[in-house]
Structure 1
């Protein structure tokens, strides 16, 4: 039941912060600022040096148990390329796993431990293969290669596919992706680039609030 609950929570949250940084301390600070701004689903990429330290620290501080709690957030791992890394992130506290590509053994491992796995898939063949392996959510990556219209096109023959575009999603097109049927959207560098450039991480909180407001407005209309 926990796996299904997490998937539903991610869908309801709508916005996933995909965070990359040069150190675990920096990515933890980014995550905290994003959470303060209302983004409650955080993906720490394994490209961050000592990323497991950041995942452990965040998973100890935040909990997915009660969406009404002050410390509510869902912490996951991204850029997971193999089952060994997937297992390490799960042991570190990651509650979901994201991969840029479709890797059978990684999916099988995550299914074994009932952890949501979101592999990258861009073709009907990829999506079909992922569904046959029991994948619940597919990552459309890089999203900037496509327009939002790709989602209804893919879901025409595969209406059961839950698709989350990542890469290229911004405040100007978030509403289009959600209206097109996106399960959720992943926000990468657009969330953090100004903060990194200026050193003012409060800008992440401001940008996170803007994303959440855009998502909520789209869902209400």
Structure 2
């Protein structure tokens, strides 16, 4: 099992986390494979999809000892978190903060990324050891929310999710995003079994991310 540090390192290096909600086990698996083939190496498999734990186990074994990192999303409680971790999930994402889920992730040395929407929620999540804070849905608050959060919490890692697209991804990073979660604009075609388009989308996001990183390096 990866340590928490190594898992977080892989997520950060990926830059983009593909949020996958498949209509079947096979659909989730093929969509994830298409993302990885296109260069998006962080995969969040939502527990609203059928047999998510099996998909996590399959992909975790397939991409063991690579730069790919497989996580679980829409984890609402501690029991689901434990199922995901045992299956091989290397990070846990929730739409909201849950104390018991945080404790379980800490126990297993797995990064926890809860959804928060206020300073009170952010502080509570950090108190319980959350490693990254997800702002969801980020489309409601916009990119400036990150700098606002960094006011009282300058050290917190923020992952906007919901509303991130190829057109605005640079703005999120310019405003201090740690990583971004991307759903429909990346994996949407997968729901129509168009895995080729998912791969093309992933390639486009990967290329855009490389350009963003190059500009940051050049500017520094």
Q: TM-score range by the shorter chain?
A: over 0.9
142, 146, 150: which one aligns with 1:151: 146
Displacement of 1:192: 2.1
**Cα deviation code 1:90-120 (max 9, x no counterpart):** 1111111000001000001100110011000
Q: Are the aligned partners of 2:162 and 2:182 in contact in 1 as well (CA < 8 Å)?
A: yes
197, 201, 205: which one aligns with 2:195: 201
Pick closer, same or farther for the CA change 1:9–1:195 going to 2, 3 Å: closer
RMSD of Structure 2 on Structure 1 (CA): 1.2
Unaligned runs of 5+ in 1: 68-72
Q: Partner of 1:120: helix, strand, or coil? A: strand
Residue 186 of structure 1 is matched in structure 2 by: 181
2: CA distance between counterparts of 1:146 and 1:8? 27
Unaligned runs of 5+ in 2: 216-220
Residue 44 of structure 1 is matched in structure 2 by: 45
Q: TM-score, normalised to structure 1's length?
A: 0.94
Residue 121 of structure 2 is matched in structure 1 by: 126
Aligned residue pairs: how many? Answer: 214
**Cα deviation code 1:136-160 (max 9, x no counterpart):** 1011101111211110111011101
Q: TM-score, normalised to structure 2's length?
A: 0.94
Residue 11 of structure 1 is matched in structure 2 by: 12
2: CA distance between counterparts of 1:9 and 1:21? 23
Displacement of 1:66: 4.0
Residue 54 of structure 1 is matched in structure 2 by: 55
Residue 95 of structure 1 is matched in structure 2 by: 90
Residue 136, structure 1, aligned to residue 131, structure 2? yes
